[in-house]
Amino acid sequence: MEQVQVSVTVNGIRYARAVEPRRLLSDFIRHDLGLTGTHVGCEQGVCGMCTVLIDGQTARTCLTFAVQADGVEITTVEALGTPAKMHPLQRAFWEKHGLQCGYCTPAMLLTAVELLNSNPNPTRDEICEAMSAILCRCTGYQTIVDAVESAAGAMKGEAR
């Protein structure tokens, strides 16, 4: 099976790899690059666990081949922050109990990043619309919306 060269920037670091054309971007990020913060739930594009930002826009990595990522910039959850230095969204999810098992959390965070980048002042309805792209089985969603709302407020405050 012939391999194809892929050059992709992930979290600011450029990687050059040879991959099988059928290798899913989710597997590439997780196993070839060792960035396991992006999760896999269905491999059918429904649940959203595998969400990353491709050139700033959310995308389901289980519905993308790694070869299609040649030349793009990918952001995964690992870029957002560390326990010592969390992104305001991570802090807000922590404060508002926006997670229980944590499996959907990276996808929720990146979806919120996309939303707040284009709309720093969303209404609660707009937050619900954006966040409804990702399934969560633990929280019942309400505290996730609370967290995004709270983060939006905090980020506006910090931007000033």
Partner 1 sequence: MKPAPFQYVRPSSVSDALAALARYRDDAKVLAGGQSLIALMNLRLVKPAVLVDINRLSDIAYIREENGTVAIGALTRQSAVESSGVIARQCPLMAEAIRFVAHRPIRNRGTVGGNLAHADPTSELPAVAVALDATFVARSTDGQRAISAADFFVGLLSSALASKELLTEMRIPIWPAGQGWSFMEVSPRAGDYALVGVAATLQVQEGICQAARLVYSGVGVRPARVAAAEQMLLGGPANEATFRAAGEVAAGQVDPSSDFHATGDYRRDLVRVLTRRALMRALDRCKKGA
Partner 2 sequence: MSAPPVKEHPTDLRWIGQSMKRVEDPRLLTGRGKYIDDLTAPHVAHAAVLRSPHAHARIRKIDASKARALPGVLLVITGAEAAEQTGPLPCFANPPVAQRCIAVDRVRHVGEAVAAVVAESRYIAEDAVDLIEVEYDPLPVVVNPEDALTSSGDAVLHPERGPNNIAHQRTLTFGGYDEDLRSADVIVRRRVRWPRSGAQPMETVGAIASYDEGTGKITIHANTSMYNYVGWLVAASLQIPAHKLNIIPTIAGGSFGSKIFTHKVLVLAATLARACGRPVKYIEDRLDNMTSCDNHGSDRIYELELGLKRDGTMLAFGMKVIDDYGAYLQFGVGHHGNAAAQLTGPYRIKSARINLTAVFTNKCQQGAYRGFGSEVNNFALERIVDAAAGELGMSPVEIRAKNFIRPDQFPYKIPTGNVYDSGNYQAVLDKALEMADYHGWRLRQDEARAQGRYIGIGLASCQERSVFSSTEFWFWNHEPGFALTSSPESVNIKVDPTGKAFVTLYSPFWGNSPETMATQIVAEQLTIDPADIEITYADTDHGSMGTGPGGSRYTVMIAGAIAGAATEIKRKLFKIAAHFLEASERDLELREGRVAVRGTDRGMTIPEIALQAYYFRLSLPDDCNSGLDARFTYDHPYTTQPNADRTDLGVFYPIMGHMCHIPIVEVDIETGQVKYLKYVAVHDCGTVVNPMTLAGHVRGGTVQGIGSTMYEHFYYGEQGQLVTANFADYLIPTLKEAPPNIEVGHVVTPSPFTEYGIKGGGEGGRMGVPPALASAIEDALKPFGVKIDTLPITPMTIRDMIRAAQQGVH
Give residues in contact with partner 1 (CB under 8 A): 1-2, 4, 20-22, 24, 27, 43-45, 48, 51, 54, 57-60, 62-65, 67-68, 111, 114, 130, 132-133
Task: Pick the closest to residue 64 from 34, 38, 27 (CA basis).
Answer: 27
What's the closest the beta carbon of residue 63 comes to partner 1, in angstroms? 5
CA distance 76 to 67: 18
Listed in order, strand segments (DSSP E) in 11-154 are 13-19, 51-54, 57-60, 73-75
Nearer to partner 1, 20 or 95 (CB): 20
Nearer to partner 1, 97 or 118 (CB): 118
Taking a C-beta distance cutoff of 8 angstroms, is the pair 81, 87 a contact? Answer: yes
Name which of partner 1, partner 2, none residue 59 binds, using a CB cut-off of 5 to 8 Å depending on partner kind. partner 1
Options 102, 119, 120, 156; binder of partner 2; rule CB under 8 A: 102
Q: Treating both helix axes as pointing N-terminal to C-terminal, what angle do 105-118 and 124-131 enclose, rounded to 10 degrees?
A: 130
Structure tokens at 28: 């590439």
Options 140, 157, 159, 160; binder of partner 2; rule CB under 8 A: 140
46 binds partner 2 (CB under 8 A): yes
